[in-house]
Amino acid sequence: MSAKTVRPSFFRRLATAVVQWIDSDYCPEGAEKMRNEPDRVDWVRVMPFVILHLGCLGVIWVGVSAFAAWAAVFLYFIRMFAVTGIYHRYFSHKTYSTSRFGQFILALWGGTTVQRGGLWWAYHHRHHHQHSDDPEDAHSPHVHGFIWSHIGWITSRRNFPTDYSKVKDLAKFPELVWLNRFDLVVPILYAASMFGIGAALERWAPGLGTNGAQMLVWGFFISTTALFHGTACINSMAHLMGKRRFKTEDDSRNSFILAIICLGEGWHNNHHRYQSCTRNGFYWWEIDPTYYGLKLLSYTGLIWGLKDVPQSILEEGMHADHHKSIAAAERSAERSDDISSSPLRTVLPAAAAIAVATATAAQADLPKKAEGPAIHKDLSGEMVKPNPAKPDSGTVI
Ligand SMILES: [Zn+2]
Ligand SMILES: [Zn+2]
C-alpha cells in the first residue's frame, strides 16, 4: 500500500480532532489534502456543535423567566445582525468600509455568533457564490439534499479547514487570522459572560427571577442554536422556497418569511443577482433590517461607504416583475377560458336551457289548462270585447 493511501489510525484522528477544537488550523495531514477528501462526518470534531444543541435541554433543570426568554430573543437578533451585517455583508462581500480597529470590533461581534471565524465563514460563502447549486457547492439542497445543505455540510471533515488563499484580503490581518484560528475563544467568553450576568442579576436584581445557569441556557445554548438554524435556512430554504425575480444561474429565491427570520437575507435571489451592494432588499417594500442597522451604524462613524443598488439592476428587476405580472394575468385569462369550456360550463347552460324550454312549454299549455280545471282562473277570455265587424272574433284589449 502506498503512503498516500495510508489512513491515520483511529486514535491519531481522535487526537487531531480534539486539538482542532482549540486550534482550528491544526492539520497534520495538510489542509489541502483534507479539503479534497470525500464528504465524511467527523463525529469527534463536531462534538462542540453537538454539545451546543444538547445544552438546550438544560432548560429542564433551570426553567424559564420572562427576562431570560426575552434576553434569548434579543440576543438572537443582535447576533443575527452580526451574521448578516458583518460575516456576510462585510467579511464575505465587503459591501462597506471600516477602519482596522472597526474591523476587529466587528470580528469580535461576529465571533459571538458561534459560527466559527469570519475568514472560514467568508471562504465558504464566496465558494458558494462561485459554485451555486452545482456539485462543488458545499450546501446546495438541489445537489446534496435538504438535511445536508442545512446542517450536514458543516459536520464534514473536508469543510473544516479555512482556505486562506480565497480570503487573502482578510488573511493579511494577523488579528483576524488569530480569531479565526482559535474560534472557540470568543464563544467561551460570551457563554461565560452570560453566566456572569445571570449570577449578578440573581444577586442584585432577584426580582427578575433569573440566575447564572438559566442565562447560560437561554442566552447561550438556546439563542445560539436558534441562530444557527435561522442562518442555515438561507443555505437550505432560500434555494427552495420563494420567488425568483432574476434568472440567475442558480436556484436562489426571494422569501419574505426568510427575510424576517434572517433580517433581510431572505431576498436571496436579489443578492445572487448582485452581491456588491449593502442591501439585499432592493426596493422599499423589501424589508431589510440588516441594511437599516448598517445605515444607523454608519452614523456613528464605525463604518462608511455603504454601496447602493445600481440603477440598471433596479430597472432590470422592475422589468422582470412587470413581465411576470403580465404573464400571470395571461395565465389567469387562460384559466378562465379553460373554465368556460369545461364540462361544468357546458352542463350549466344546458340545464338552464332545459329549464327555460320547460317553462315556455308550460306557457304554451296555459290555454289548455284554462279550459280544464284551473287552480288560477285565466281572465283573458273575460277581457274580450265583441267586434262589431266580426261578431265571431274577439280583440284582446
Ligand atoms: Zn445562495
Ligand atoms: Zn453572499
Look at residue 361 in the predicted model and tell me its pLDDT: 41
pTM for the full model? 0.81
Ligand 2 centroid to residue 76 C-alpha, Å: 20
Look at residue 7 in the predicted model and tell me its pLDDT: 65
Compute the residue count for the chain.
Answer: 397
Residue 395: strand pairing partners:
385
Ligand 2 centroid to residue 127 C-alpha, Å: 10
How far apart are alpha carbons 195 and 213 in whole angstroms? 6
Give the ligand whose atoms come closest to the C-alpha of residue 88: 2
Q: Alpha carbon of 389 to those of 218, 352, 386: distances in Å?
A: 109, 45, 9
pLDDT tens-place string over residues 59-114: 999 999 999 999 999 999 999 999 999 999 999 999 999 999 999 999 999 999 99
Ligand 1 centroid to residue 128 C-alpha, Å: 7
**Which residue from 309, 311, 305, 241 is spatially nearest to 269, judged by alpha carbons?**
241
Give the ligand whose atoms come closest to the C-alpha of residue 252: 1
Ligand 1 centroid to residue 87 C-alpha, Å: 15
pLDDT tens-place string over residues 130-167: 999 999 999 999 999 999 999 999 999 999 999 999 99
pLDDT band at 336 (very low <50, low <70, confident <90, very high): low
Ligand 1 centroid to residue 86 C-alpha, Å: 17
Residue 160 corresponds to which cell in the numbers above? 473544516
Give the ligand whose atoms come closest to the C-alpha of residue 274: 2
